[in-house]
Structure 1
């Protein structure tokens, strides 16, 4: 077999995601899972739960993970990558502890993990690693033979991710009326997190204001905006904005909020806006409610034409990018020197998080509500 398609020493891939409710009775228990130990008032959980009930109490994230799981398995089989793919969640069934127990029982000893979060932050990376460690500790207490579990690098600037986002923007632009299309602004949107968490995201003392979280989003957004300009011949103004704040009002979070931004660009004369959910891998509740429902209503009240571009989901280019990342990491573990695909100015991210990377607990991010109650 071509060495490029060899996944040794890994013998399984774990798709690790946030999880979400799959019916009305799941909503409150799910929200309690997400916010356990953070002192979130019950009325806030009820408020967020009402968003789910607008959609029958079902988050789309689990079904989308099933689609991505099937796409990864099909892609690996088509390209001769002999690596079974499993799926586990942090906050709802199938829980990651149960999935790792299943993987261990099947004899897997070197597991590679794809987290459905492309960027560095406590809640987007380190908390996933902490949950993996907690699951392994549970299995160790049960006497289970533990696999070694590694995590794929951040993929915010991998071509498979960026190309898919770019084509989503081009498709969204085409949906706008011709009269406003060429002047449309791009609003690249991602999850707001506390400033304390943002400033300490990524390796210590590497990135400037906003830490790796902001730097990585800006780099990805700039790459997409440049690709859109090359494809359209138009220079669409763009900004990085935030959404889905869930913390105490007294604690500073990243701004501007997408709703405030829509008002600001409308006042300045923007003829239309494309909302680009570059911070999200799939159309989960933060996309379906906060953008498709709430932000779209804000734009309609302003009389501002707005469309939302697609997330990468299970697009074949993104799936092929995951395969590339898997084979890259496997080659690295074999002490080879693989090509590490990346666009923009930041280069390929680290494989192993350095000491002091994303110290969310020390920065107070958990108490502030850095982990969203959405999915």
Structure 2
């Protein structure tokens, strides 16, 4: 399996607290420079305190790394695997420094995010650049793998997990169950600026176009027809700022009014079941559905599904070979994002 010219693989993730005392420092890292009132941080922190301050995301990264190492070894891909987070330990700058001490010179990196927008792609590129600058001239070169939203290794686990979720509904409710494909909301200005400039995306930019196509791919592969909608979750901006809608809870209430009896929520905007999934969906959205008398199930994200793990290896080989990005849609994607791609607004 080709992997040259790289001599290491780096998983780059968001990071999350792992104890109650970590929660506020972690949230301060996430919101640094945005003048978020401390009382707002304390409010958001309550989500974490429900789980003893432990975000699931770090353990999910450890689990993914373990399976990736095994998969690499089985394919003869002799690449050491490193891990660095943007906002909590292990911090990305510390990991880049460790790679430099280890003599690593060329790194292929993957972010734990599948789509194109500032928060899920450009911000990772910026933070990698900042980490390299902090380390200095000994820092390795780092190439970030492109968004993989339509790769079969992302789509197939979501299809399987959606089927599994539907199977958990009462038998007489499965056929008519409504699917809600849920992704992280972002400001509409950021969404409009997602993707490469000049590509002619409509409102919502590349982000909404990609989400629309992935929902179609999953729905078509289920083998049975279900009505479905795209919904958004985890909004965190001021009320005056427009964000992508509809919110998952608002749509659940509307479906109840329209007579829907059962719903399956698919967190297809995420690669693992981290805090936004377990709190915003498993708690808030579930409570909304139950309040309206609807049956509610939630599909798993890709996590460490074997096909997703194999995809990591395939994406490394694709980038190493400079091959044309492979996907199930005709939407454009590129190995190297041009200047101005996925801007903040």
Tell whether the structures are fold-level matches, with TM greater than 0.5.
Answer: yes
Q: Distance in 2 between matches of 1:226 and 1:282?
A: 22
1:1-375 superposed matches below 5 A? 5-140=1-136, 144-206=137-199, 207-228=201-222, 230=223, 234-332=224-322, 338=323, 340-346=325-331, 349-360=333-344, 363=345
Unaligned runs of 5+ in 1: 333-337, 364-375
Residues 215 and 230, structure 2, Cα contact 8 Å, conserved in 1? yes
Q: Distance in 2 between matches of 1:178 and 1:36?
A: 49
Q: Distance in 1 between matches of 2:246 and 2:335?
A: 31
Q: Distance in 1 between matches of 2:329 and 2:218?
A: 9
Residues 75 and 319, structure 1, Cα contact 8 Å, conserved in 2? yes
Q: Secondary structure at the match of 1:150?
A: strand
Q: Distance in 1 between matches of 2:99 and 2:76?
A: 21
Shift of 1:345: 3.5
Question: Comparing 109-118 with 202-211, which one deviates more in the overlay?
Answer: 202-211
Shift of 1:339: 6.1
Q: Residues 293, 344 of structure 1: CA spacing in aligned structure 2 closer, same or farther, 3 A cutoff?
A: same
Residues 325 and 335, structure 2, Cα contact 8 Å, conserved in 1? no
TM-score after normalising by structure 1? 0.90
Residues 164 and 312, structure 1, Cα contact 8 Å, conserved in 2? yes
Q: Distance in 2 between matches of 1:191 and 1:146?
A: 32
Residues 219 and 345, structure 1, Cα contact 8 Å, conserved in 2? no
The count of corresponding residues between Structure 1 and Structure 2 is 344
Q: Distance in 1 between matches of 2:260 and 2:37?
A: 39
Cα deviation digits, residues 9-45 of structure 1 (max 9, x gap): 0111100000000000000000000000001111111
Q: Distance in 2 between matches of 1:125 and 1:340?
A: 16
Residues 261 and 293, structure 2, Cα contact 8 Å, conserved in 1? no
TM-score after normalising by structure 2? 0.98
Shift of 1:271: 2.2
Residues 119 and 125, structure 1, Cα contact 8 Å, conserved in 2? yes
Cα deviation digits, residues 325-356 of structure 1 (max 9, x gap): 10011011xxxxx4643113325x20000121
Q: Distance in 2 between matches of 1:14 and 1:59?
A: 21
Question: After TM superposition, what 4+ stretches of structure 1 lie above 3 angstroms from structure 2?
Answer: none
